[in-house]
Amino acid sequence: MKPNVSISKVLVSAFVSVVIICLSAYSEAQTKSIKLTLKDKLTQESIEHANATLIDLKDSLILASQLSHDDGIVNFNIKKAGKYKIVVEKEGYVSETCYSTFSNKQDDSQMYFTLVMNKKRRGK
């Protein structure tokens, strides 16, 4: 007895669909995150409303830009492994930069930074 060709095609199509769904879920689970806390060097108080810009170092593309919250925290989500730069600017403070590298390892999914910023000297 010959197997039904149309049933085989349906089974293969269903299997491929399940694999694609699983790969999509795995990819979403691999989202990386950076949590950046901004502090004043002298007072150790949180720096609110500083502008933080996330840049992909591979192509110098700006991926995101946002202001720090009242608690001085900025969060970025990254969808792929790579090397990144974060530039932080706030009026009255010296601009600061930090760097981050994410691999494809499953345990390499979060990074936490505390960035201490110096106030600009008067007249400069």
The lowest-confidence range among 62-66, 80-84, 85-89 is: 80-84
So what's the pLDDT on residue 56?
A: 95
**pLDDT-above-70 percentage for the chain:** 72
pLDDT at position 12 over 70? no
- Half-sphere exposure of 89 toward its Cβ, with a 13 Å CA cutoff? 6
Three-class secondary structure of residue 9 per DSSP = helix
Per-residue confidence at 90, pLDDT binned at 50, 70, 90?
very high
So what's the pLDDT on residue 51?
A: 97
For the chain, what is the radius of gyration of the CA atoms?
22
Closest CA to 75 of 39, 107, 33: 33
DSSP conformation class of 49: S
Residue 97, token pair as written in the block: 């930069």
